[in-house]
Chain A
Amino acid sequence: MPLNLKDLYDGFRQPEVIHSYALLIEKEANKLKRPINIMEVCGGHTHSIMKYGLNQLLPKNVNFVHGPGCPVCVMPKERIDHAYVLAMIEDVILVTLGDMIKVPGSKGNLQDARSQGADVRFVYSPMDCLKIAKENPSKRVIFFAIGFETTTPMTTALIHQVISKDIKNILFHINHITVPEPMRVLLDDESNTIDAFIGPSHVSVISGSQIYDEFANHYQKPVVVSGFEPVDVMQSVLMIIKQFNEQRSEVEVQYSRSVNKEGNLVAQKLNHQYFERRSHFRWRGIGDIPHSAFKLKKEYVHVDAEMIYQDSLPTEQIDDHKLCICGDILKGKANPIDCKVFGKACTPSNPMGSCMVSSEGACAAYYKYGNLLR
């Protein structure tokens, strides 16, 4: 029987299969010598877990710990203010992905900038910039680029078009970040309670699962690269528990229909062509992580909005609200429900921190799906 598109969704959401895996997990977990904490790094996995209540299907000795895989959540306020400041410039059209709409900077969010007269456009794809730039020849289109390794190639594909076609009115503000560097920082913190990882998988579609080798080898933490459907996640949890019981520490790919060891070489080549790693980059809640973010290479400074407008862009570090514990949540040291303002002063329509407003934020996931927990 040939594969249908529907099978790629429904096949990996079957309730009976989820239930079967819950039973298999319980049986295997009985053999564990001690409780284990599995960190799902990616916000997309957090949302799947909360949406399908997978955390409630696990036995008491297996826990999920949420990680920092939300690119908007880990952006410090001063960089969000960059977007606001750029948007307010007279002849600028600021273009970014929808996730940025309500993210709060210290001056407000981009929606506020709009109400102040700024021309801000939220797009589905970076390529939409081409049309906007063509239709507005007297304006400067600045693409405010966000995302991990999954989304970085799409920006470089647009850069490639801009450079090769010599398009004069598209600039870039690059905020792309990488996943292995913060994972390392979390593990280097001696107080961490992470025993294994569910590895970000769409990141590995681009980078290959090879990027997790150091976590299995050097840090001795099992990593299973998982798909996003609930059956994928449950199968991955079982694979992790088996690694513990068999005293293995490996990188395994559960999501083998889409992930391999090498990744997407075309995307990697584009990345090397246009980007280099920043020596430093401040992560909200975590602090400086060296070599964890990208910027345009010097030869492309003529399209680098961060350089062109550097005199107007704020550099002062801005801290979060005192009651916001996004930082601890991103490091897996707290849950959204531990936060005093969760669901009260901080809600998706009135967020105090970006974790509550991003489609990949843990707080947003708990708010949307976690009613049953209260």
Chain B
Amino acid sequence: MCLSIPSKVTKIDKESNMATVDTMGVSREASLDLMEEGSVKIGDFVLLHIGFIMNKIDEEDAMASLETYREILEIMDAKEREEAILDGDNCPSGGN
């Protein structure tokens, strides 16, 4: 039950205060009763929990996190290459 699902808003029905969201290919209806009026827009990324939208996912923050992970991978890759080169230098048979 803790597990809410990131989804994308595809439709908004102001009258019923409901939104339609896409959760990885499955379309679902979700209540906007827990969100400030007018705060959710089509295209927003949101957390869906038992039929309700409970917050908006901060896109910029998510992208910043993904960028951090990219940088970590680059650093690790660079380290591995360095170690591979050093291993090569230290190898008694010298690659022969």
Contact = CB atoms under 8 A, between A and B. Distances in A.
Interface residues of A, number: 55
B47 A258 contact: yes
Contacts of B54: 150, 153, 202, 205-206, 264, 267
Contacts of B63: 3
Interface stretch (A80-88, A124-132, A286-294, A333-341): A124-132
A360 B69 contact: no
B51 A202 contact: no
Contacts of A151: 1, 49-50
A23 B76 contact: yes
A154 B65 contact: no
Nearest to B39: A266
A3 B62 contact: yes
B66 A264 contact: no
A8 B7 CA distance: 9
Contacts, number: 128
B2 A258 contact: no
Interface string A5-29: 1111101101011001101100000
Contact of B72 (A20, A43, A127, A360): A20
Interface in A98-156: 99, 124-128, 146-148, 150-151, 153-154
Contacts of B31: 125, 127, 157
B20 to A, nearest CB: 14
Contacts of B57: 8, 257-258
A68 interface: no
Contacts of B73: 16-17, 20
Interface string B44-88: 010101111011011101110110010011001000000000000
A11 B67 CA distance: 10
Nearest to A146: B1
A208 to B, nearest CB: 11
A154 B52 contact: yes
Contacts of A202: 2-4, 47, 49, 54
Interface of B: 1-4, 6-8, 22-24, 31, 33-36, 45, 47, 49-52, 54-55, 57-59, 61-63, 65-66, 69, 72-73, 76
